[in-house]
Amino acid sequence: MSRENGAGVGEGGGGAPEPEQLALIRESVRKAKVPRAKPRTWRGAALAKELPVARVLVDKGVLHLDRYFDYAVPEELDEAAQPGVRVRVRFGAGSRNVREGRREGGGLIDGFIVERRAETEYTGPLAALAQVVSPEPVLGAELLDLARAVADRYAGSLADVLQLAVPPRHARAESRAAVPPPAPPAPPGAGSWRRYAHGEEFLSALASGASPRAVWTALPGPQWAEEIARAVRATLASGRGALVVVPTGRPAARVDAALTELLGEGQHALLTADAGQERRYREWLSVRRGEVRAVVGTRAAMFAPVRDLGLVVVWDDGDANHSDDRAPFPHVREVLELRATRDRCGFLLGGWSCTVEAAQLVESGWAAPLVADREQVRGAAPLVRTVGDGDLARDEAARAARLPTLAWRAVREGLRHGPVLVQVPRRGYVPRLACERCREPARCRGCAGPLEAQDSGAALRCGWCGVEEGAWHCGECGGFRLRAQVVGARRTAEELGRAFPAVPVRTSGREQVLDTVPGTPALVVSTPGAEPVADGGYAAALLLDGWAMLGRPDLRAGEDALRRWIGAAALVRSQNAGGTVVVVAEATLRPVQALVRWDPVGHAVRELGERAELGFPPVSRMAAVSGRPEALAEFLAAAELPPDAVVLGPVPVREAAPGPSRRPGAAPPGEQWERVLIRVPPGSGAALAAALKVAQAARMARGAKGTREGPAEAVRIRVDPLDIG
DNA sequence: AGCACGCCGACT
DNA sequence: GTCGGCGTGCTC
């Protein structure tokens, strides 16, 4: 007797079970090869009269198989069991146990109904839906399609993507009464969009229902948020919805305020991670239900189910916060690109700086540049000066001043007119060295800046001026041995406070981020990304540790440094208003020159050309695969990569280290992992992702043989790894 | 991942 | 005969 035979104990669909049971057994005996038209169930529950089969996406990440499972729809759940609703189903071998009394052995797990159908292709008896969690159809067809596209693009599972895309349920938030959708507003005036060559054109295209795509290089200053709000309002005026994604809560609050100003209260939703579960779900639901047509939020908002999407906006796409940190690590820019293409909606990628990826969107013709002419740029940007090795050699006074003269003067001059911003890399970013004996910090003989070890064993360099120090000894106690210390904003603040007594010093960093500072003279020491906005703009900014920012062993080091510098410099008053920026870095370096000329696009275009030549992303597509050496080797042996794929490595991966320099797929503590990079030429990205996904799925399904360690261990796959050595 | 099934050797 | 070892494979 087959299991299937013994299983046929009941039948749904109404009517007396007896003759149908016989038919069922007959069918089983014939070893039925033909898919059954009618679903059968374990229990004799009555089924829905129409479309008695629910195709369910089982929300179980470990399955790593993007498959649907068919369940029977009991009559009493017929009405609630609509496509998109959350359900609970029995899943697992236990539910198939034929022995009496243990038929329901499998565990209850969550899932979504993706479709109602008349028949099933499954040749066994169907289990019935256990429960419809709520009648709210949270997973619409469009969101499902998008999630699937994202899963494919990133070689991840659909269930993983849905975990990012659909927020956890909160019952109280659902019970709120429906609110009628707002009427479309009138299109806004162009406002400060007039500063850009095609700004007005872009807005009127959106307002007329068209879907323009642009890479927008925003002029420095605070107007960007209002400009985004105007683009949103123009889109709403066309009767469509709009979605804005920004890196963190602070810019989200800025756009939120600008939208409230331009649209009034209650016309848009704010979706950020720091809101509580209930509030987050409530806002998300109001978007899904069409009660608000505009959304601003951080990265999880990229999936927000906005109705009739007319425009997607991403601000500052170079910020690492746009890359989700949960598998399969989708990036906001890429996801919104997918949405713009699939939904044929407008696309606006904006920032003060310009990523290589953004430059590529323009170069490929997918998006148009939206830039201001040089005249406008010169009028809005501060004056940028550099302090490098050459300057320092001639700088006698620097020794006494503890800072290069130019920097010192710029700070002192700036403090006469307002607040001065000092940007220092994040704590842990730059290890500071100190005398092992007396703990006196190791300082540069030229400018008294902190000495740093480039790499273990290599020469020491000054973190301020970049000059090498060949023969250090402690000036206090004469010691020759160094120990690593960590320098942060606080320590820098102390040092600068001593250099400029009688001036208030404030710090903004990871632990405590200041949002704004008054326009009165003060030193504001901040880590990149945490810079407060100064009322009326900063009078000056000092960008320290340029060498450390540029010297990171990362493909994006130059682009990243430029983006951080521009991010700080954009908060400084224009050159006409006396705004000055001093960057302590070698003036001949490309990112430094780009900052001086305020030409982020030129920098990105040149980088893009170089990446194309070297076969680096984003011109080619890369994926990082990491895991224990045997697991990785097995994976690579089994994977059928596209013929044009090139495997680089494997190389050992460092263990997960604290700080921003964590590597993709860092090994868990105590384990030695390896990583390969797999590169494919343009056009083969989808094939690579598909191959990786298939190989991973096979691995998960099969289980690794030959290893003592037991079942197959997943390798970590990351398409578009963030930092490539 | 669970969990059941099943093919094998040792036991009442 | 029957109990239970873990090696495979499925989950609607």
pLDDT tens readout for residues A606-623: 999 999 998 889 999 999
What's the total number of domains in chain A? 4
Question: Quick check: is A461 in a domain?
Answer: no
Question: Quick check: is A585 in a domain?
Answer: yes
Percent of chain A with pLDDT over 70: 80
The residue segments making up the domain with residue A655 are: 621-719
Question: Quick check: is A180 in a domain?
Answer: no
Q: What are A246-305's pLDDT values in tens digits?
A: 999 999 999 999 999 999 999 999 999 988 899 999 999 999 999 999 999 999 999 999
Using alpha carbons, select from A493, A214, A551, A472 the residue that is nearest to residue A365.
A214
Give the residue ranges of the annotated binding site of A for Zn(2+).
435, 438, 444, 447, 462, 465, 474, 477
Q: What is the CATH number of the domain that holds A337?
A: 3.40.50.300
Mean pLDDT score, A299-324 = 97
Nucleotides of B under 7 A from a protein CB: 1-6
Please provide the average confidence, as pLDDT, over all residues in chain A: 84
Burial class (CB in 10 A: 0-12, 13-18, 19+), A710: exposed
Cβ neighbours for A47, distance < 8 A, ≥ 6 positions apart: A12, A13, A14, A39, A41, A72, A73, A74, A75, A128
* Rounded Cα gap, residues A218 and A562, in angstroms: 15
Sign, Cα dihedral of A715, A716, A720, A721: negative
pLDDT at residue A194 above 90?
yes
pLDDT band at A671 (very low <50, low <70, confident <90, very high): confident
Question: Quick check: is A178 in a domain?
Answer: no
Which residues face A469 on adjacent strands? A460
pLDDT band at A239 (very low <50, low <70, confident <90, very high): very high
Find which nucleotide's C1' atom is closest to A6's CA.
Answer: B5
Q: What are A540-551's pLDDT values in tens digits?
A: 999 987 777 777
Question: Quick check: is A467 in a domain?
Answer: no
Work out if A72's Cβ lies within 7 angstroms of strand C: yes
Q: What are A161-190's pLDDT values in tens digits?
A: 999 999 999 999 999 888 999 999 999 999
* Cβ neighbour number for residue A612 with a 10 Å cutoff: 16
Work out if A96's Cβ lies within 7 angstroms of strand C: yes
Better-predicted residue by pLDDT, A630 or A144: A144
pLDDT band at A33 (very low <50, low <70, confident <90, very high): very low
Give the residue nearest to nucleotide C10 (CA to C1'). A93
The CA angle A263-A268-A272, to the nearest 5 degrees, is 135
Q: What are A371-380's pLDDT values in tens digits?
A: 999 999 999 9
pLDDT given at position A535: 97
pLDDT at residue A5 above 70?
no
pLDDT at residue A391 above 80?
no
* Rounded Cα gap, residues A297 and A252, in angstroms: 6
A337 and A397 assigned to the same domain: no
Work out if A366's Cβ lies within 7 angstroms of strand C: no
A205 and A105 assigned to the same domain: no
pLDDT at residue A204 above 50?
yes
Q: What is the CATH number of the domain that holds A689?
A: 3.30.70
A200 and A347 assigned to the same domain: yes
pLDDT given at position A441: 72
pLDDT given at position A572: 98
Percent of chain A with pLDDT over 90: 60
The dihedral formed by the CA atoms of A151, A157, A162 and A165, expressed in degrees to the nearest 10:
-40
Distance A702 CA to C8 C1' (A): 9
Mean pLDDT score, A425-435 = 65
pLDDT band at A322 (very low <50, low <70, confident <90, very high): very high
* Rounded Cα gap, residues A515 and A617, in angstroms: 35
Nucleotides of C under 7 A from a protein CB: 8-12
pLDDT given at position A466: 67
CB A339 within 8 A of CB A303: no
Using alpha carbons, select from A570, A528, A597 the residue that is nearest to residue A386.
A597
Work out if A67's Cβ lies within 7 angstroms of strand B: no
Work out if A172's Cβ lies within 7 angstroms of strand C: no
Structure tokens at A9: 């104990």
Mean pLDDT score, A689-704 = 77
Ramachandran angles phi, psi of A649, nearest 5°: 110, -160
In total, chain A counts a number of residues equal to 725
A358 and A395 assigned to the same domain: no
pLDDT at residue A660 above 60?
no
Better-predicted residue by pLDDT, A116 or A399: A116
A293 and A370 assigned to the same domain: yes
Peptide bond into A650 cis (omega under 30): yes
**For chain A, counts of helices (H) and of strands (E):** 22, 29
pLDDT band at A34 (very low <50, low <70, confident <90, very high): very low
Mean pLDDT score, A23-46 = 47
Question: Quick check: is A177 in a domain?
Answer: no
pLDDT band at A406 (very low <50, low <70, confident <90, very high): confident
Work out if A120's Cβ lies within 7 angstroms of strand C: yes
Cβ neighbours for A479, distance < 8 A, ≥ 6 positions apart: A435, A436, A437, A438, A473
A360 and A498 assigned to the same domain: no
Distance A85 CA to C3 C1' (A): 46
Ramachandran angles phi, psi of A227, nearest 5°: -65, -40
Distance A625 CA to C6 C1' (A): 32
pLDDT at residue A524 above 90?
yes
pLDDT given at position A658: 39
A582 and A498 assigned to the same domain: yes
* Cβ neighbour number for residue A233 with a 10 Å cutoff: 26
Question: Quick check: is A611 in a domain?
Answer: no
Better-predicted residue by pLDDT, A704 or A208: A208
A77 and A220 assigned to the same domain: no
Better-predicted residue by pLDDT, A433 or A235: A235
Which residues face A47 on adjacent strands? A74
Mean pLDDT score, A628-635 = 87
Q: Which of residues 406-425 of A touch strand B (CB under 7 A)?
A: none
Q: A600-614 and A356-363 are packed helices; what angle lies between their axes, rounded to 10 degrees?
A: 80
pLDDT given at position A6: 28
A501 and A402 assigned to the same domain: yes
A418 and A541 assigned to the same domain: yes
Find which nucleotide's C1' atom is closest to A63's CA.
Answer: B1
A401 and A544 assigned to the same domain: yes
Find which nucleotide's C1' atom is closest to A60's CA.
Answer: B1
Mean pLDDT score, A115-144 = 94
pLDDT at residue A678 above 50?
yes
Domain boundary among A96, A115, A137: A137
Question: Quick check: is A608 in a domain?
Answer: no
Q: What is the CATH number of the domain that holds A502?
A: 3.40.50
Which amino acid is present at A458? A
CB A119 within 8 A of CB A35: yes
Give the residue nearest to nucleotide B3 (CA to C1'). A93
pLDDT at residue A489 above 50?
yes
The CA angle A205-A211-A216, to the nearest 5 degrees, is 80
A586 and A541 assigned to the same domain: yes
CB A433 within 8 A of CB A452: yes
pLDDT given at position A100: 38
Work out if A70's Cβ lies within 7 angstroms of strand C: yes
pLDDT at residue A15 above 60?
no
Mean pLDDT score, A470-488 = 75
pLDDT at residue A706 above 70?
no
pLDDT band at A66 (very low <50, low <70, confident <90, very high): confident
* Rounded Cα gap, residues A383 and A220, in angstroms: 12
Q: Which of residues 7-66 of A touch strand B (CB under 7 A)?
A: 62-63
Work out if A91's Cβ lies within 7 angstroms of strand C: yes
